[in-house]
Amino acid sequence: MKTKTIFLFAFVLFALVILSSCAEVQHVEACQTGQTYGFFGGLWHGIIAPVSFVISLFSDHVAVWAVNNNGGWYAFGFLIGVGSLGFGGHKASR
């Protein structure tokens, strides 16, 4: 059973890395005048936030939070996206 858990964790991590490669990179100046991100943009940015955070430590061209967002709905989607990455934290409380 332990091997199955390790395999599942490795698969999820691999899937997150592959999906985060779809993230679009824009300059901050272009973000402020371009598309405004709403709920679904916030949801996607929340899901890829762990990978974006690690990359942002080494690169100034990657941000975790979209500069040009519509406010509350973007933040709500972002929180749901980040919260969906609990990785089974509810099992630890048992």
Claim: this prediction has a pTM higher than 0.75: no
- Alpha helices by DSSP H, listed for 21-92, are 28-33, 39-47, 49-58, 72-83, 89-92
Which 3 state secondary structure label does DSSP give 37? strand
Tens digit of each residue's pLDDT (9 = 90 or more) over 52-71: 888 888 887 777 888 778 88
pLDDT: which is higher, 8 or 1: 8
Q: Are 67 and 30 in contact (CB under 8 A)?
A: no
Nearest to 66 by CA among 35, 92, 20: 35
